Amino acid sequence: MSLLLLQAQQFRNFAELSLQPHPQFNLLVGENGSGKTSLLEAIYYLAHGRSFRTSRHQRLIQHDEPAFVLHAKVSSAEQVHSIGIQRERTADLQLRLNGSAQCRLADIAELLPVQLLTPDSFKLFFGGPKERRQFFDMGVFHVEQHFFAVWLQFSRVLKQRNALLKQSRQYNQQFEYWDAQFVQLAWQLQALRQHYISLLQNAFAALTDQDSLLSTVSLQLYAGWPEKLKTSAELQELLSQSFQQDLRLGFTQYGPQKADLRLRSAGHSVEEVLSRGQLKVLLFALKVAQNNLIAGSGLKQPILLIDDLASELDPGSTKKIFDFLTNINSQVFITAINADQVTPFIAADCRQVFHVEHGQITSTDR
């Protein structure tokens, strides 16, 4: 089990919250504005250090209160860990991991693999490459052990190169020095990402092999530079050749920071050939496949947060999605206005229903 206990103070409309979730499915039922999505937001904030609803942390703190506090007990690698986050109106952020303040957000995120599905998740298809990089890099972070360290090094080198573009007008020894490091780290990131996407394609295929439509979907990683480049030396040459254009743009136009995931079916982009309802089913399949891959790679049980599951789904699509969810190796939290939208698809002994109203949460039998 992943999340054993969730507690919140002065978070959104929850003055005090204490929740002991079911290890499999947790259904959060209540009217709009009752606090269902805020509960998902609290779990997401613990895992990512930010909200998926607002960039202004002050909106998360109850009126006239100085800060909000989130605390959880998490099971990972057969151990129980205590994690906590306090965010003040002044933006001061305090973290705790097993009682110690000597920790980073990445240390907490590593213990709590959390994915989110909301009506806005269609950005995975219709948004820019950043949306898709965030999707697959979350999985690479949890599956490929060395990814985060390499990514941190690359980010520092990229920042340095972009700063140089604003200071120097000539491609000189400084650029050669940083480009050599850039290329070395870029090639490492590409190898880690490509290996992960191959694993994700296999997990996706295992989940959808009985679906005549989704089984045709392929996942193709674009590295962030032309496919014709086959060696690191060719990438370094490209950086040199594109220097003048980089100067005009003010940033580095090639590299892993421009990577993308291309989702195709029968040779076309999926958004061109699938209906909105079919895209939502595909979205669920991708998230479930990623959670299964993370779970299968170690001793973590990921968490899937689903806000407003029934939105824009016909009965056939709803059944497909629950077929996927019954094969998920994750702890799942689902919001709904009515329990009857979800309970017929999940066995009673595999779920717990919680009623949310005016910032209060109670466990119910249905």
Binding-site sequence positions for ATP = 30-37
Distance CA 74, CA 47 (A): 11
Coil, helix or strand for 218?
A: strand
From residue 349, give the alpha-carbon distance in Å to each of 25, 292, 365.
Answer: 9, 21, 11
Tokens of 243: 């220097």
Distance CA 256, CA 240 (A): 16
Q: Are 172 and 148 in contact (CB under 8 A)?
A: no
Distance CA 76, CA 230 (A): 39
Q: Are 217 and 270 in contact (CB under 8 A)?
A: yes
Q: Are 317 and 281 in contact (CB under 8 A)?
A: yes
Which residues are paired to 268 by β-bridges?
A: 265
Distance CA 273, CA 80 (A): 45
Query: Per this entry, what is the length of the chain?
Result: 366
**Side-chain-facing half-sphere of 100: CA atoms under 13 Å:** 9
The amino acid present at 86, given as its one-letter code, is: Q
Distance CA 153, CA 36 (A): 39
Residues tagged in the binding site annotation? 30-37
